[in-house]
Amino acid sequence: MWGSSDFLGGVASRRAAAFGVVLVVQSGGAVLALALALASGEGIGAPGTWAMPAIAGMGAGIGLLALYHGLAVGRMGIVAPVAGLLAAALPVIVGSVRDGIPGPLLVAGIALALLAVVVVSRVAGDVGQRSGLEFGILAGLGFAAFNVAVGLLPDDAAFAPLVPLKLGGAALIMGVVIAGRRTWRIPRAVLPLALGSAVLDLSGIAFYVLATQAGRLDVAVTLSSLYPVTTVILAALILRERMSRPHGVGIVMAAVAIVLISLGSGA
């Protein structure tokens, strides 16, 4: 879901202002989350339960803004892998502390998956261009905060936490747009792509919430962090983008990692 969402969001961002696309993804997701929470009978929860999901949403918002800016001003081959590695590695450490050290198959699978994230995320940058490392680190920390905060949500609801989560992200991005006077309006023709990305992004978050409730945090965050594989495959199939040898190697590594994690977790 996340990989498909990033693909649609990336295509939309080529045709419209990236801030506008992200804003539609966050606000559209908030409206959909509210509809799902009400339809499921969970409601939106008491205001006192909104803190942790709102933190998760703001972490995702910070990560997304830092990643977009880093990719724009820095080297993609540095920014994307650093962000992806930190976003996955830090929650894995938290999960191991919370749930205990995983078995050897899980350790091997997680290590291989983290390496696959780095390999698949690497994109060549211009020689002499600034690295953008600081934005990759900030993006990774933001995404890591999101992953950990979601893992700390209570297990009694799946859709209710999504409302403050998306509202937190939308409020943060709107604040940046207003404060920085950023261009955010997008053409009507691009709106379906942005809304499609919003639906897929919220679906990915919902499945991730369910995964953290059903099993170990380190397993959930590792498997979900493989979403760039989907983006790369869709870009090759639909946009006819050339898949490099490192991408192919990373995809194979990801497939092997999934098998190892599944065997190690008894799935």
**139 or 47, higher pLDDT:** 139
Q: Is the predicted pLDDT of residue 136 greater than 90, yes or no?
A: no
Q: Which two tokens stand for residue 259?
A: 């098998």
Which residue type, as a one-letter code, is found at position 143? F
Number of domains in the chain: 1
* Calpha distance 168→208 (Å, rounded): 18
117-127: per-residue pLDDT in tens?
Answer: 888 777 665 55
pLDDT digits (tens, 9 = 90+) for 58-116: 999 898 888 877 876 777 667 777 888 888 888 888 888 888 888 888 889 989 988 88
Report how far apart, in Å, the C-alpha atoms of 63 and of each of 35, 83, 84, 97, 235 are.
26, 8, 10, 24, 22
- The pLDDT value recorded for residue 65 is 82
Q: Is the dihedral angle over the CA atoms 131, 132, 138, 140 positive or is it negative?
A: negative
For residues 84 and 140, the answer to whether their CB atoms sit within 8 Å is yes
| Alpha carbons 122 and 109: distance in angstroms, whole number | 20
What does the pLDDT average to over 188-196?
Answer: 93
CB proximity list for 8: less than 8 A, separation 6 or greater: 193, 194, 196, 197, 200
CB 67 within 8 A of CB 117: no
- For 210, the domain range is 2-265
Instruction: Give the pLDDT of residue 119.
Output: 84
Cα–Cα distance for residue pair 15/33, rounded to 1 Å:
26
pLDDT for 97-109, tens place per residue?
888 888 888 889 9
Q: Calculate the CA 85 to chain-centre distance.
A: 12
**Shortest CA distance to 13 belongs to which of 97, 72, 62?**
72
